[in-house]
Chain A
Amino acid sequence: DGGITQSPKYLFRKEGQNVTLSCEQNLNHDAMYWYRQDPGQGLRLIYYSQIVNDFQKGDIAEGYSVSREKKESFPLTVTSAQKNPTAFYLCASSIAWGGDGYNEQFFGPGTRLTVL
């Protein structure tokens, strides 16, 4: 089955700890994204990557870091510098954009992070 997987589904972290969220896709997509969603809110872009070994900051990158060493994988690290990390984190991927703009994004099931 083709798709995007995120693990774990639920994650608990103590204050002051870094934690890494996994995102893997087997859709052969070039572009990958990390979003944060807070209750009753839309999606806010943390980081995105158009191609292996390249990534760009989104709207709320502070306190987060990413890597893109393989096309299939785009892990997100939530560092202790992120002041309010409790949220639902969504990973997505898409084919690199076509001539008239972006193609649709495919989402993973999400990881709910709670800081204790």
Chain B
Amino acid sequence: SQQGEEDPQALSIQEGENATMNCSYKTSINNLQWYRQNSGRGLVHLILIRSNEREKHSGRLRVTLDTSKKSSSLLITASRAADTASYFCATVTRGNNRKLIWGLGTSLAVNP
């Protein structure tokens, strides 16, 4: 079953601009993870944020987590054409940590 809902479904920006994607979820979580998928390829893990963390950085990526609103955002700064991909959030539900619950993804296009 899908828990996360990414917003927007699709985003198109110019190279150098920032891209922000949001993810909402329904239940209490242990952690939330963001993944990237290039067209026709497997997914690549980007960043994991635990339920007791509010913000995390990794290179040009910044992830925030608001457990009171059950939402997370992924910010990609100074975007590049190579960032063009689909981005998925996935949650590990508290009390059921055997699997990830996936959102439907945001399709990001970065135009040169």
Which residues of chain A have a CB within 8 Å of any CB of chain B? 4, 6, 33, 40-45, 48, 50, 56, 58-59, 88, 90, 92, 97, 100-110, 112
Contact = CB atoms under 8 A, between A and B. Distances in A.
25 contacts: A4-B42, A41-B105, A42-B105, A43-B43, A45-B100, A48-B98, A48-B99, A50-B98, A58-B99, A90-B43, A92-B42, A97-B97, A97-B98, A100-B50, A101-B92, A101-B97, A102-B30, A102-B31, A102-B100, A105-B43, A105-B100, A106-B45, A107-B44, A109-B42, A112-B40
B48 interface: yes
B95 to A, nearest CB: 10
Interface in B22-50: 30-31, 33, 40-45, 48, 50
Interface residues of B, number: 25
Tell me whether chain B's interface is mostly helix, strand or loop, or mixed: strand
A104 B45 contact: yes
Interface in B73-112: 88, 92, 94, 97-100, 102-105
Nearest to B6: A42
A43 B102 contact: yes
Nearest to A33: B99
A58 B100 CA distance: 11
Contact of B88 (A43, A103, A108): A43
A13 B27 CA distance: 39
Given A101-B92, A104-B45, A41 B104 contact: yes
B104 A42 contact: yes
Contacts of A58: 99
B37 to A, nearest CB: 8
In this complex, the member of A44, A92, A102 whose beta carbon has the largest number of chain B beta carbons within 10 angstroms is A102
